[in-house]
Amino acid sequence: KQEVTQIPAALSVPEGENLVLNCSFTDSAIYNLQWFRQDPGKGLTSLLLIQSSQREQTSGRLNASLDKSSGRSTLYIAASQPGDSATYLCAVREMTNAGKSTFGDGTTLTVKP
């Protein structure tokens, strides 16, 4: 059974700092890994998707990496802003036909002005 862990559970940084969020998973037979952002009481917004054959994806100030063999992914946020404050979730999608995702419990990020 796939298990996904995100460390740390919460992170507080001053504005402008670069930061890294971590995601680890136990079964490397994955289809892809997706990073989401969730604001309080809201749905999930997709940030980046990395297919299992890829090593990284970039979008603006965000960069996500994937090391399938070690079961790890990182989300790097450059020059953090107060608007980046949210919960960040990683989801690992399995390779079976169902393709359901297993989520971590998220990292809650607070960026202080």
Min separation Cβ 95 and another protein, Å:
12
Count Cα atoms within 13 angstroms, Cβ side, for 1. Answer: 2
102 binds another protein (CB under 8 A): yes
Amino acid at 107: T
Contact predicate 89/9, CB 8 Å: no
- 40/113 with CB nearer another protein: 40
Min separation Cβ 29 and another protein, Å:
17
Binding mask 20-49 for another protein (x = CB under 8 A): ------------x-x-x----xxxxxx--x
Q: Which of 102, 107, 77 is nearest to 6 (CA)?
A: 107
